[in-house]
């Protein structure tokens, strides 16, 4: 099945925990993020055949794909109101696509396995509940690989790129700044500094420069202040790998997230 248009890829900042189900928060720090996620179906332009999500909340020793036709829920957050542990995002899984993606990953020289038990974590169900609130688009979640090797995840993205011509939306879900100990005013400067580097790298650089910079991301200004552990940055590598030579643009940006933090999301191609 070939679509007449190649779908873009995304790296999105998905926000904290189950925020869409906490309406009082939406009035404050989440209004801008919510609007950017609601705008995505229009940017994509067609309803995807499926969404392939690489979430900053799932890593395995080898690349792993959820293969359940009806994925369960993973409530991987702490200290939120009781009702947020009853959330359902009943999107169908995509077991046939999982087999196809497994073959693509193996074709790139990696091992890849299927996990029939794995469910949607909040890196997947939280943004998708805003992007596709009817839960009517099949969703396939793909793990990161332990070790966070940028080159491996860029290579993974390149292997997934043909899916863009088959109606599959590739979505890297993390946060452009993820230092939970420095979320208040202390994070203002490092988040802004690292975001400037991201904008230069992802929007203003050539595709070749983009890859070169991302491979050496830890040398960027304030890199380890922004990402003491890079689990929420590595999904970007997959989105960029799948983007090939296509340009990037910033589709979400605010400098007062949680009052002080600079956060962004990016779209490639499309």
pLDDT of 26 reads 57
The reported pLDDT for the residue numbered 5 is: 85
Going from the N-terminus, what domains does the chain have, and what CATH number goes with each? Answer: 9-268 (3.40.830.10)
Q: What pLDDT is stored for residue 1 in this prediction?
A: 43
CA gap 33, 247 in Å, rounded: 22
270 residues of the chain, pLDDT tens digit each? 444 689 999 999 998 899 999 977 656 678 899 999 999 999 999 999 999 999 999 999 999 999 999 999 999 999 999 999 999 999 999 999 999 999 999 999 999 999 999 999 999 999 999 999 999 999 999 999 999 999 999 999 999 999 999 999 999 999 999 998 888 999 999 999 999 999 999 999 999 999 999 999 999 999 999 999 999 999 999 999 999 999 999 999 999 998 899 999 999 998
* pLDDT for the residue numbered 23: 75
DSSP one-letter string for the chain: ---SSPPPEEEEE--STTGGG-HHHHTTTTHHHHHHHHTHHHHH-S--SEEEEEEEEEEESSEEEE--SS--B-----S--GGGGS--------HHHHHHHHHHHHHTT--EEEESS--B-HHHHHHHHHHSTT--S-EEEEEEETT--HHHHHHHHHHHGGGGGGTEEEEEEE-S---GGG-SGGGHHHHHHHHHHHHHHHTSS-HHHHHHHHHTGGGSTTHHHH-SSGGGTHHHHHHHHHHTT--EEEEEEEEEETTTEEEEEEEE--
């Amino acid at each position: 099945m070939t679509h007449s248009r190649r779908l873009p890829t995304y790296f999105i900042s998905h926000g904290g925990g189950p925020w869409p189900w906490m309406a009082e928060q939406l009035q404050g720090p989440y209004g801008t993020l919510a609007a950017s996620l609601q705008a995505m179906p229009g940017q994509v332009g067609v309803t995807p055949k499926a969404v392939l999500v690489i979430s900053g909340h799932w890593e395995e020793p080898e690349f792993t794909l959820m293969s359940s036709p009806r994925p369960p829920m993973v409530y991987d957050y702490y200290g939120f109101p009781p009702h947020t542990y009853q959330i359902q995002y009943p999107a169908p899984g995509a077991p046939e696509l999982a087999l196809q993606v497994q073959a693509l990953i193996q074709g790139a020289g990696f091992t890849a396995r299927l996990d029939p038990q794995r469910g949607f974590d909040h890196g997947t169900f939280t943004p998708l509940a805003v992007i596709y609130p009817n839960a009517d688009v099949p969703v396939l979640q793909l793990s990161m690989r332990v070790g966070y090797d940028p080159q491996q995840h860029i290579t993974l993205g390149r292997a997934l790129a043909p899916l863009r011509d088959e109606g599959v939306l590739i979505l890297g879900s993390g946060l452009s700044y993820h230092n939970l100990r420095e979320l208040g005013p202390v994070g203002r400067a490092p988040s802004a500094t690292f975001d400037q580097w991201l904008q230069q790298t992802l929007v203003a650089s050539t595709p070749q420069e983009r890859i070169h910079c991302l491979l050496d991301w830890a040398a960027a200004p304030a890199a380890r202040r922004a990402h003491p552990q890079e689990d929420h940055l590595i999904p970007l590598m997959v989105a960029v790998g799948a983007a090939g030579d296509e340009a990037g643009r910033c589709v979400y940006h605010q400098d007062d997230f949680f009052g002080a933090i600079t956060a962004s999301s990016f779209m490639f191609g499309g």
